[in-house]
Structure 1
Amino acid sequence: MKLSELVDTTREVAATTSRLAKIDALARLLRDAAPDELPALIGLLLASPRQGRLGVGWRGIAALEVTHATDATLTIADVDRALDELAHASGAGSAGARSETLRALASAATADEWDFLARAMLGELRTGALGGVLLDAIAKASDRPPATVRRAAMLSGDLGATAALALTGTAEDLENVSLEVLRPVLPMLAGTAATPSAALELTGEASVEYKLDGARIQVHRHGDDVGVYTRSLADITHRVPEIVDIVRALPAHDLILDGETLALDEDGGPRPFQETMSRFGADVSREIALRPWFFDVLHVDGRDLLDEPLSARLEELDRVAGDWRMPGVVTSEPSAAEEVSREALAAGHEGVVVKAIDSPYSAGRRGKSWVKVKPVLTYDLVVLGAEWGSGRRRGKLSNLHLGARDPDGEFGEPGGFVMVGKTFKGLTDALLAWQTETFASYETSRSEYAVLLRPELVVEIAIDGVQRSPRYPGGLALRFARVKGYRPDKTAVEADTIQSLRALLRE
């Protein structure tokens, strides 16, 4: 299959708001693909290449100066081989090798194809072809029941492999996909609510548990063999020996546990999120120890618990996890839920997760059975620039470059601004149109990818917090930033400062 067919389909998917139309377009694409192309195809559609980390960043892509091809000749297989080369480059000279591979790929691609590939590699595709839509497209393309396809994907943890099985295997093959110890499954996800009381209205009687500012982990054990996996199902077992030791000591032979982990400081309080994440991306370091908290159990010694109610799973969790159990209470009283939330926040955690006590474990699903509640912070920041959108946002200025005021000139001239993050979330079609028209009056320069602006427009941004980051000159980055609205009533000198954001690191 040619890459151009994938690019044309994603453009069609992005251009419609109809879920059914998206599913139809994707189903046609999947039917036309060869079986061995499906895993790579699915990875590109999700902007999550099957190879995992590629070692490629925005700067490396933006720095390329190439002449793109005029004819569309690249195939999915060509792209997959190039991504393999990027992922496997290591050791001395690997940076140069990656640059050469990128240059060759960009030269072989048309301008439209390269725009697609760059965004797919950076995880910024935004076509609307999310996992749920793709699952329904796989079901339609293969003429299999959507519920069967969804469950197979959940239990295998691999959407590409599920697509290949659904389209090339038998109905029985798909139905026989089951939970296996040491094969990670997609984690159950939570919706959101403004308060614990509002969450209880959705769930009814629930287990109200701490929401840590840590990293999601799924832990499997078969005897002395232990596997530890991230939210995205990456294997990090070799990086977390302290968690492996804890799980080996639990009273069971076979286990699958769901939980979170974070690093604690000398006083037993949570370290910043970035310090926890540093253990996931580097070799083992005993300088920062990780402590697990388990909040669910999916399997114990031959007994699958996915379809059993949370109440039954918690009984088993209490038995096998003991002191490693996530703090929480089972209640239907809003006052009790609010109290747990206050306790969690006072201990330095993010908030709470409210879980319906009768709910099964719906791997990979985000619904109303689990509802997270955490306070939202808002800051007034200045727009320093914007990137051109793709798909439905093609031709419109979308991803905002956000700056905080630097009153002391720590990062430049006193009263200047320092970049602290980007976001495209929360932008309506009306705001996109307004930005594209209005930003021209503030433009200082532009490139193929972005327009830079005079720092005069103030926008209110909601965030979940900040984290240390070398990516931006201020040394921090916004977490889960989204636009609440522009503030024409405020001038840039009234924007929040880098110091006020930095204070969140300590908090």
Structure 2
Amino acid sequence: MIRFAALFNAIDQSTKTNAKVAALADYFASAPDEDRMWTMALFSGRRPKRAVTTTKLREWAAETADIPLWLFEESYPIVGDLAETIALVLPLSETTNDGSLTQWITRLREVSQTDDAARKAFVLEAWETLGGTERFVFNKLITGGFRMGVSQKLMTRALSKATGKAEAELAHRLMGNWHPDHTSWHALIEAEDAAVDASRPYPFYLAYALEGPPDALGAPENWRAEWKWDGIRGQLILRDGQYFVWSRGEELMTDRFPELARAVDFLPPGTVLDGELLVWHPHSDSPASFNALQKRIGRKTVPKKLLTDAPVVLHAYDLLEWQGEDLRDAPFAERRKILEELFAPLPAAAPVRLSPQLEFAEWEALADLRDVARDENAEGLMLKRSDSPYLVGRKKGDWWKWKLAPLTIDAVMIYAQAGHGRRANLFTDFTFAVWDGNELVPFAKAYSGLTDAEFREITKWVRKNTLQRFGPVRLVTPHHVFEIAFEGIQASPRHKSGVALRFPRMSRWRQDKPLQEANTLEDLNDMLRIYG
């Protein structure tokens, strides 16, 4: 744990990528294999399940620190992090425990199966014997809130530096359903046959947002364009007579989309498609909106009625593996040609479709197509250079997403709540409302889009204009108008307004606009009729 805590400190205390990579590389080059595996697991979201409720931890911390629980509860929102709050209130430990990261995680997982008395004894022992950063890291592990500023790309860079293996190969090895319980460092990182796992996906290639017109990209004939679909990015893998569905977030979703099982009847093994999971009704010319797909998200099992009401297909736009061969280094035009030949004989009953390419000779013509993207239930356009390979992660230059401008509406802030972490002392989470006659009706929450200076300014105002408190939430005087940007709108009987927004955020603070000129519920309903 001492070695891992030192790594934690080195990463947490630096904002420089090279310093983080160097610290990680040194750790991966020298730590025991089991600790290296658990470190990769923690940094890639494979955390142990929470062993103790946060309520119990707060009670035990207040008791150990000999302070009233109310004082701990008042301190928690100020600090903004439970693990750090506990570490700050506990008395200093004068001992050092040299147990490894793996040993502590093993004990933590074992104690999760015991009663409260055993759990409390374990936690108090850890707090008494672990000092400094080790205690803080332990708190992070036991609260289940272990998150660090280590991206998959940064971790693969460090692993490459420590092992001498190529980043692209390591990124591929780290994809899939591995876990320290059933995979060793040698099998995952060192073994030559690491790619034999039939379910393993490829790392996704991600596009950069195109902020202006595409003229600067050069000659239009060097580019391909297609709709940027509003669904779930995924890979469909067909190997060894089986099928697997992975999300871009490396979540195995096979059971959630059983209709894709029929893909093995239409496509040969050794095929990996990159595409978009969309609800697409038979005989329809375009996919249903994301609202229809939301009904399928988060479901482990899908009832027959939902399979009928919201049938899902994979709209393929790239071919990553063909006849068992990795095609990612081939030019996009070549991969696309094979993909078109593969899909040409497929019947309409197949659960996969080919995402069409859009014909254009000039950038102006492509801009005209982009303007009607919402009519196709698309978010905009994807632009891909014809000779581009399929790379790993977000690379600037070959793939661009040219999205439509978001929908916007002007709304009144009526509730405010403090943020977390470094923004724990600022009000950053707001509830917004629109007019319904003379009444303000809440319809959305947002917490991003303003600068730190703007958050500090609005925080001062909130403290002076609070009407009521409801725990951490403050009802404020209706006064400030904000422009709220969002990607979509849908009907929602659960909300008083009757609508719900997709990805709402504050695009600007309308200090130029009086309260009475905010938008109305009727305006939202008009948007719902057009875009819902």
* TM-score, normalised relative to structure 1: 0.75
Given that 1:207 and 1:355 are in contact with CA atoms closer than 8 Å, whether structure 2 keeps it comes out as yes
Mapped to 1, the partners of 2:16 and 2:381 lie a distance apart of: 34
Q: Verify: 1:385 aligned to 2:416, yes or no.
A: yes
Tell me which moved more, 339-348 or 281-290.
339-348
Q: Verify: 1:321 aligned to 2:350, yes or no.
A: no
- The residue number in structure 2 matching 1:297 is 319
Once the two structures are superposed, residues 371-410 of structure 1 have per-residue CA deviations (whole angstroms, 9 ceiling, x without a partner) of 11221223333442233331xx2554264223232525xx
Indicate which of 375, 378, 387 corresponds to 1:358: 387
Indicate which of 468, 480, 484 corresponds to 1:457: 480
Given that 2:380 and 2:402 are in contact with CA atoms closer than 8 Å, whether structure 1 keeps it comes out as yes
Given that 2:28 and 2:36 are in contact with CA atoms closer than 8 Å, whether structure 1 keeps it comes out as yes
**1:28-427 map, 5 Å:** 34-45=32-43, 48-50=45-47, 66-68=59-61, 70=90, 77=102, 78=104, 121=145, 125=147, 128-140=149-161, 142=162, 144=164, 148-157=166-175, 169=186, 173=190, 178=195, 181-194=198-211, 197-198=214-215, 200-201=217-218, 205-222=222-239, 224-245=241-262, 247-264=263-280, 268=284, 269-282=286-299, 283-285=301-303, 286-287=307-308, 288-322=310-344, 324-329=353-358, 333-375=362-404, 376-383=406-413, 384-390=415-421, 393-397=422-426, 399-407=428-436, 415-418=439-442, 420-424=444-448, 426-427=449-450
Given that 1:156 and 1:185 are in contact with CA atoms closer than 8 Å, whether structure 2 keeps it comes out as no
Q: Which amino acid aligns with 1:418?
A: P
Shift of 1:353: 0.7
Shift of 1:479: 3.1
3-state SS of paired residue (2:18):
helix
Shift of 1:258: 0.6
Q: Return closer, same or farther for 1:67/1:161 CA change in 2, 3 Å cut-off.
A: closer
Mapped to 2, the partners of 1:98 and 1:207 lie a distance apart of: 60
3-state SS of paired residue (1:430):
helix
Mapped to 2, the partners of 1:105 and 1:447 lie a distance apart of: 35
**1:433-472 map, 5 Å:** 433-443=456-466, 453-466=476-489
Shift of 1:494: 3.3
3-state SS of paired residue (1:243):
helix
Given that 1:7 and 1:116 are in contact with CA atoms closer than 8 Å, whether structure 2 keeps it comes out as no
* TM-score, normalised relative to structure 2: 0.72
Given that 1:208 and 1:340 are in contact with CA atoms closer than 8 Å, whether structure 2 keeps it comes out as no
Q: Return closer, same or farther for 1:502/1:427 CA change in 2, 3 Å cut-off.
A: same
Given that 1:191 and 1:367 are in contact with CA atoms closer than 8 Å, whether structure 2 keeps it comes out as yes
Structure 2's unaligned 5+ residue stretches are 62-85, 128-134, 347-352
Mapped to 2, the partners of 1:85 and 1:295 lie a distance apart of: 47
Shift of 1:189: 0.9
Given that 2:5 and 2:137 are in contact with CA atoms closer than 8 Å, whether structure 1 keeps it comes out as no
Q: Which amino acid aligns with 1:66?
A: E
Once the two structures are superposed, residues 194-220 of structure 1 have per-residue CA deviations (whole angstroms, 9 ceiling, x without a partner) of 466358459872210111111112111
Mapped to 2, the partners of 1:380 and 1:104 lie a distance apart of: 54
Q: Return closer, same or farther for 1:489/1:189 CA change in 2, 3 Å cut-off.
A: same
Mapped to 1, the partners of 2:142 and 2:496 lie a distance apart of: 24
Shift of 1:293: 1.0
Shift of 1:81: 7.1
3-state SS of paired residue (1:381):
strand
- The residue number in structure 1 matching 2:79 is none
**1:9-28 map, 5 Å:** 9=9, 13=11, 16-27=14-25
Given that 1:466 and 1:505 are in contact with CA atoms closer than 8 Å, whether structure 2 keeps it comes out as yes
Given that 2:234 and 2:247 are in contact with CA atoms closer than 8 Å, whether structure 1 keeps it comes out as yes
Mapped to 2, the partners of 1:321 and 1:85 lie a distance apart of: 53
3-state SS of paired residue (1:328):
coil
Given that 1:294 and 1:321 are in contact with CA atoms closer than 8 Å, whether structure 2 keeps it comes out as no
Once the two structures are superposed, residues 64-117 of structure 1 have per-residue CA deviations (whole angstroms, 9 ceiling, x without a partner) of 86343526889855567768999xx9xxxxxxx999999999989989669856
Mapped to 2, the partners of 1:467 and 1:83 lie a distance apart of: 42
Q: Which amino acid aligns with 2:417?
A: A
Mapped to 1, the partners of 2:230 and 2:403 lie a distance apart of: 10
Mapped to 1, the partners of 2:40 and 2:211 lie a distance apart of: 34
Mapped to 1, the partners of 2:311 and 2:278 lie a distance apart of: 8
Mapped to 2, the partners of 1:378 and 1:115 lie a distance apart of: 41
Shift of 1:176: 6.6
Once the two structures are superposed, residues 288-333 of structure 1 have per-residue CA deviations (whole angstroms, 9 ceiling, x without a partner) of 2112210000111133211000000001110112361101136563
Mapped to 2, the partners of 1:331 and 1:431 lie a distance apart of: 43
Given that 1:209 and 1:328 are in contact with CA atoms closer than 8 Å, whether structure 2 keeps it comes out as yes
Mapped to 2, the partners of 1:422 and 1:105 lie a distance apart of: 40
Question: Greater Rg, structure 1 or structure 2?
Answer: 2
Q: Return closer, same or farther for 1:253/1:332 CA change in 2, 3 Å cut-off.
A: same
Mapped to 1, the partners of 2:412 and 2:383 lie a distance apart of: 35
Share of identical aligned residues, percent? Answer: 24
Given that 2:220 and 2:361 are in contact with CA atoms closer than 8 Å, whether structure 1 keeps it comes out as no
Given that 1:273 and 1:467 are in contact with CA atoms closer than 8 Å, whether structure 2 keeps it comes out as no
Q: Return closer, same or farther for 1:482/1:280 CA change in 2, 3 Å cut-off.
A: closer
- The residue number in structure 1 matching 2:509 is 486
- The residue number in structure 1 matching 2:70 is none
Given that 1:461 and 1:483 are in contact with CA atoms closer than 8 Å, whether structure 2 keeps it comes out as yes
Mapped to 2, the partners of 1:105 and 1:423 lie a distance apart of: 37
Given that 1:156 and 1:179 are in contact with CA atoms closer than 8 Å, whether structure 2 keeps it comes out as no
Once the two structures are superposed, residues 11-41 of structure 1 have per-residue CA deviations (whole angstroms, 9 ceiling, x without a partner) of x645544323343454566567543244543
Mapped to 1, the partners of 2:494 and 2:6 lie a distance apart of: 31
3-state SS of paired residue (1:350):
strand
Given that 1:460 and 1:484 are in contact with CA atoms closer than 8 Å, whether structure 2 keeps it comes out as yes
Could you say what the CA RMSD is over the residues aligned between the two structures, in angstroms? 4.7
